[in-house]
Amino acid sequence: MTPHAAACTASPSAFHPALLGQQADRAVSWQEMVSHRSALVRFAQRRLHDPMLAEDVVHDVFEAVIAGRASFAGRSALRSWLTAILKHKIVDLVRQRAGVDSLDEGGEEGAAGTLECPQPRPDELAEQRQCLAQTLARIEALPSGLRDVMRLRVLQERATEDVCAALAISEENLFVRLHRARKQLLS
């Protein structure tokens, strides 16, 4: 159990009752808050995908309530109120981490060497070229009407109006031919 989790499950006498619900219309007892702890931890784990971090965030929620930074006015259910505070804490944590992450975070000199190259590896590049060659060969094997449509519209990326004028076909016929050509290529 983490130190934060131990603090969350501590006895009610560990905290002064005057601190609970300070500045609130309705005092919140320690037992009431802790009874929602497991639901809050589950909620945080679903959002953060890290059990230890979820425990820490839930602890921060209880700490905010005890310190009087958050006051329960009784306008909603206690669990809803605690969950709303938790949501804000999670958002704050995600924002904080997004601004802090860097290459030097690991503290290792060779950390930059472990980054993935955004360009494909040579084997991936060869596989892509082979796939492209096969696709082009399949386009060339299509019947002439379908092949011409694929060449002009897809490979040359010409405008619909230009393709229709070049082949003397309507837009509807162009789209039908494209559909049929793609269907044949996929089969």
Model pTM score: 0.42
What tens digit of pLDDT does each residue of 86-101 get?
999 999 988 888 876 5
What tens digit of pLDDT does each residue of 7-22 get?
444 444 444 444 444 4
Low-confidence ranges of the chain (pLDDT < 50): 1-25, 107, 110-113
Label residue 39 exposed, middle or buried (CB < 10 Å: 0-12, 13-18, 19+): middle
pLDDT at 180: 95
* Mean pLDDT score of the chain: 79
**Of 79, 69, 42, which Cα lies nearest the Cα of 57?**
42
